Amino acid sequence: MGRTVSKADLSEIIGRDERTLTRWQNDGMPVMEFGLGRGNANQYDTEAVIQWLMHQASLNGKKESSRDRLDRNRADREELALAKDLGEVVIAKELIERFEAMIIAAKTELLNSFPDDLAADLSARYGVEVDDQLIRDPIEAILRRLSDYDLDDASSDGDFDEPDDPENFEENSD
């Protein structure tokens, strides 16, 4: 920590007038303690101010003003809205809702009508009575495993064409 000084002292140390220091303060120059009320001056840590000034100098005048940042954020929002309108992006919440609806529909079909329909089709085709529970049990087991699925526990990197470890794959396939 450097020396604690007033704005007048800091002005003298840095060689800039107090109005410039006020402008810099509004731009983010660190203030150690704000003076409350008339006659109570702000206090500055000279080391923190000098580090801030060095950082500002390293930006080579590329500092973005508050107004520029606001304009950039507005433009980004407009660009995102346009991309959404054009169907180029999908909002995650909407995608999740649609995905959940598809999962519920598939689960309902797999648990309710599919086992009965398949058992009836197999019975008619092969002339033997097929118990729909023989179909329902494996489906329920698969759905249970899916509901317990944790992405962090997944061993695959998502590439199902290639084994995770080609050397082990070759050894195990002999």
Confidence (pLDDT) at 94? 86
- At 43 the three-state DSSP class reads strand
Confidence (pLDDT) at 121? 94
Query: What confidence tens digit (pLDDT) does each residue in 63-86 have?
Result: 666 777 788 788 888 888 888 888
Strand (E) positions, the chain? 4-6, 43-45
- Give the start-to-end residue ranges of the domains of the chain: 4-58, 92-150
| Residue 90 pLDDT > 90 | no
Query: What confidence tens digit (pLDDT) does each residue in 111-167 have?
Result: 999 999 999 999 999 999 999 999 999 999 999 988 887 766 655 555 545 545 545
| Fold for the domain defined by 4-58 | Arc Repressor Mutant, subunit A (1.10.10)
> What does pTM read for this prediction?
0.39
